[in-house]
Chain A
Amino acid sequence: EDQVTQSPEALRLQEGESSSLNCSYTVSGLRGLFWYRQDPGKGPEFLFTLYSAGEEKEKERLKATLTKKESFLHITAPKPEDSATYLCAVRPANFGNEKLTFGTGTRLTIIP
Chain B
Amino acid sequence: SAVISQKPSRDICQRGTSLTIQCQVDSQVTMMFWYRQQPGQSLTLIATANQGSEATYESGFVIDKFPISRPNLTFSTLTVSNMSPEDSSIYLCSVDRGGEQYFGPGTRLTVT
Interface residues in chain A, defined as those with a beta carbon under 8 Å from any beta carbon in chain B? 32, 34, 36, 41-46, 49, 87, 89, 98-100, 102-105
Contact = CB atoms under 8 A, between A and B. Distances in A.
A18 B1 CA distance: 28
* Interface range for B: 20 to 34
B58 interface: yes
A98 B1 contact: no
Chain B binding surface SS class: strand
B12 interface: no
Nearest to A99: B45
Contact of B1 (A32, A42, A46, A102): A46
Nearest to A45: B103
A32 B102 contact: no
Pick from A32, A41, A43, A87 the residue with the most CB of B within 10 Å. Answer: A43
